Structure 1
Amino acid sequence: MYDVLDPDSDRGRVYRALVGHPREPVGLLAARAGLSESVVRVVLKELVAEDIVVTTDHGAGEASWEALPPTQVVETLLQRDAVRRTALRRAGTELERLYRFARRDAGHYGALEVVEDAARILTVSRRLQQSARRQIRVIDMPPYSGTSDHYLEQEVLQRERMAAGVVYRTIYHGSAFDDPVAGPNMARMIEAGEQARTLDDPPMKLAIGDSDLAVVTLAADDHPGVVSLLIRPSGLFRALSNVFESLWRLAVPASAAGAGTQIDARDRQILTLMASGATDDVIARRLGLGRRTVVRRVSVLLAGLGATTRFQAGVQAARRGWL
């Protein structure tokens, strides 16, 4: 959205043309912005969807557009930044509550149960999924200690639950793409319908079944292996649910397409320039490519990375070691 204030970007050119020449039809806008009408129509559709531009219809069959005041656009940008900061603070606050609860004696907090037996931990995980009727929310992160058989069994169970209408939303650690077992498992589950996002450094392993049970898995403090904290409906449960939702909003959509693959030198150059904030026009000039070629390759790269913005594409590409 910030590029609407950049006079060298396509969106910036169209917005500035509208600021100076309100309610003009697309043909005149294209001429003023130095862009083709097809590009201007795409840009206008994006700006209308982002509440930066409004459509005005004069009833004669020819639509025109009006730019919202620049001060209003800037204020919207600042408010969205504030929402992001608020989400980060909320996640930190809720994690602090978890930190304190997890260090209390379980006997003094009825909603919390500590499980240390590995076999029971797996049983609890299966039971959480089997009993869910609406959704299962998961944060998955290293170490990935499960065997190939364990992942295959989990895939079978997850496919059964998704076929029954249960929605899976999973936040993966950014390194999941590179893990020889977890990576292919993630790709297959996304293809099967799992909603997946990635985050550089999630704070914990977490599974939440509906509004009934949450399981936090942590490294044991006094012996090798892990322990699981079973949390039932309570203030702590709500805190964990809030943590997940805050992190979900901050995470980047993941795609099975291209996971574990490599890209050629030209696409790497395009991604590097995209990540630096370069527009399609700038990329075309820097690499000596036609603008249409750049637009087409950017579209393919965004789709392959499961990204909706250039920033997300840069994050995903960096996580996969492409940059």
Structure 2
Amino acid sequence: MLVALGLETVDEAVYREMLESPALGVEEIAARLATTPDRVRACLDKLFELRLVQESFEAPGRFLAVEPATGLQRLLARQHAELIERQRQMADSQASFLRMFAGAGARVSSGGGVERLEGVDAVQRRLQELARDAVREVLTFMPGGAQSAAALRAARHHDGQALGRGVAVRVIGLEGVRGDAATLGYARWLTEQRGEFRTTASLPPRMVLVDGATALIPLDPEDTRRGALCLSGPALLAPLLALFEQTWERAAPLGPGGAGDPDPLSDHERALLTCIAQGHTDESAARQLHVSPRTARRTMASLMERLGARSRFEAGLKAARLGWL
């Protein structure tokens, strides 16, 4: 389990030995694991850096393993901070990438896969055309936090048009929209219509990608009213599609009933997630919570679906990111 959090197998083995037998020294642990004392010391250095072990107050120079639940919370907090930093760096890179396109737009002819659209009206007309003609999917970055009433009306109109024909619609907004009633209302409406909405800590400039064939990006990310570039062609769109999918994978699902609810989990669900985060299986968690294994499995499957998680570990990580634990 801890390998997914950055520990190697031998690091985890040393940690487990220290938990099970606190009195063991470096030599004894090395003998049990059939490795060298120097390798164990290197593992201890790493575990100490990750705050999974700490120095004994009674015997300075001797290390003690931190209780698993506390240790996991520390690792999750560390990974969360690293994830936020990676998202920020990725957003900065994406913004630079899109500004490069915008700067090049004035120099590319209409036959070069880049068309310049001047002003809001021209952009809205093209969005209407794209929503009308979409056959497969519409992917959108929605930066800027709370959206204006006009922008939300336009989004509902365009997305509703596409969704009505069975086109998949996925939107990524900033986490701050969870606290804005109007934007959150749009997000709830979208999910009710079988679209998908996720949030993340940072985003590149606004972008709309349709059917993997056309993309709109702003001429000026700081002033979207100036207009947009309409991009087409695999060479231009492939990196934008890849950036969207990378951001989507790191984003948090909206959840049932809309995010922003004061308490998205029942007491039973929170207790089950806490047990899973501590390393329990569904069966051992069921014993801890005095429910049947079937109930624990069913509840965990529902939580994983709500969180968009593909494993129990990922569910624990995403729940911690959302502040559910």
Following TM superposition, by how much is the alpha carbon of 1:115 offset from its aligned partner in structure 2, in angstroms?
A: 4.9
Aligned pairs for 1:236-315 (under 5 A) are: 236-251=236-251, 254-257=254-257, 259-261=259-261, 262=263, 263-284=265-286, 288-292=289-293, 294-315=296-317
**Counterpart contact for 2:99–2:221, Cα < 8 Å:** no
Counterpart Cα distance in 2 of 1:162 and 1:227: 25
Q: How many residues align?
A: 237
- List per-residue Cα deviations over 1:62-96 (Å, max 9, x = no partner): xxxxxxxxxxxxxxxxxxxxxxxxxx9xx89x948
Choose 206-215 or 250-259, whichever is displaced more: 250-259
Residue of structure 1 in register with 2:107 after alignment: 108
Residue of structure 1 in register with 2:208 after alignment: 207
Counterpart Cα distance in 2 of 1:224 and 1:250: 25
Counterpart Cα distance in 2 of 1:154 and 1:100: 23
Following TM superposition, by how much is the alpha carbon of 1:249 offset from its aligned partner in structure 2, in angstroms?
A: 4.7
Q: Give the match's secondary structure for 2:103.
A: coil
Residue of structure 2 in register with 1:141 after alignment: 143
Following TM superposition, by how much is the alpha carbon of 1:207 offset from its aligned partner in structure 2, in angstroms?
A: 0.6
**Counterpart contact for 1:252–1:312, Cα < 8 Å:** no
- List per-residue Cα deviations over 1:229-284 (Å, max 9, x = no partner): 33232622332123223444555555434533313444334333434544334545
**Counterpart contact for 1:186–1:256, Cα < 8 Å:** no
Seen in structure 2, the aligned counterparts of structure 1 residues 249 and 267 have a Cα distance that, compared at 3 Å, is: closer
Amino acid at match of 1:107: A
Following TM superposition, by how much is the alpha carbon of 1:183 offset from its aligned partner in structure 2, in angstroms?
A: 1.9
Counterpart Cα distance in 1 of 2:250 and 2:221: 28
Following TM superposition, by how much is the alpha carbon of 1:208 offset from its aligned partner in structure 2, in angstroms?
A: 1.0
Counterpart Cα distance in 2 of 1:159 and 1:193: 10
Counterpart Cα distance in 2 of 1:197 and 1:184: 14
Counterpart Cα distance in 1 of 2:136 and 2:227: 26
- List per-residue Cα deviations over 1:190-248 (Å, max 9, x = no partner): 22121444444333322112244211247645x69775333232622332123223444
Following TM superposition, by how much is the alpha carbon of 1:315 offset from its aligned partner in structure 2, in angstroms?
A: 4.6
**Counterpart contact for 1:97–1:239, Cα < 8 Å:** no
Counterpart Cα distance in 2 of 1:231 and 1:277: 47
- Structure 2, gaps ≥5 residues long: 4-8, 10-86
Amino acid at match of 1:127: E
Seen in structure 2, the aligned counterparts of structure 1 residues 224 and 213 have a Cα distance that, compared at 3 Å, is: closer
Counterpart Cα distance in 1 of 2:218 and 2:224: 13
Counterpart Cα distance in 1 of 2:143 and 2:317: 17
Choose 184-193 or 250-259, whichever is displaced more: 250-259
- Structure 1, gaps ≥5 residues long: 7-87
**Counterpart contact for 1:101–1:236, Cα < 8 Å:** no
Counterpart Cα distance in 2 of 1:315 and 1:218: 37
Seen in structure 2, the aligned counterparts of structure 1 residues 107 and 157 have a Cα distance that, compared at 3 Å, is: closer
Following TM superposition, by how much is the alpha carbon of 1:188 offset from its aligned partner in structure 2, in angstroms?
A: 1.9
Counterpart Cα distance in 2 of 1:96 and 1:249: 18
Amino acid at match of 1:302: M
- List per-residue Cα deviations over 1:82-122 (Å, max 9, x = no partner): xxxxxx9xx89x94882573363432233445556344433
TM-score with structure 2 length normalisation?
Answer: 0.56
Counterpart Cα distance in 2 of 1:96 and 1:143: 16
Seen in structure 2, the aligned counterparts of structure 1 residues 152 and 129 have a Cα distance that, compared at 3 Å, is: same
**Counterpart contact for 2:215–2:231, Cα < 8 Å:** yes
Choose 298-307 or 176-185, whichever is displaced more: 298-307
Following TM superposition, by how much is the alpha carbon of 1:127 offset from its aligned partner in structure 2, in angstroms?
A: 2.8
TM-score with structure 1 length normalisation?
Answer: 0.56
**Counterpart contact for 1:98–1:236, Cα < 8 Å:** no
Following TM superposition, by how much is the alpha carbon of 1:152 offset from its aligned partner in structure 2, in angstroms?
A: 4.0
Residue of structure 2 in register with 1:28 after alignment: none
**2:174 aligned with 1:180:** no
Counterpart Cα distance in 1 of 2:317 and 2:218: 27
Task: Determine which of 315, 320, 323 is the counterpart of 1:321.
Answer: 323
CA RMSD of superposed structures (Å): 4.1
**Counterpart contact for 2:145–2:174, Cα < 8 Å:** no
Q: Give the match's secondary structure for 1:104.
A: helix
- List per-residue Cα deviations over 1:161-187 (Å, max 9, x = no partner): 222232223334444433322222222
Seen in structure 2, the aligned counterparts of structure 1 residues 240 and 288 have a Cα distance that, compared at 3 Å, is: closer
Structure 1: 4+ residue segments shifted above 6 A: 223-226
Aligned pairs for 1:82-93 (under 5 A) are: none
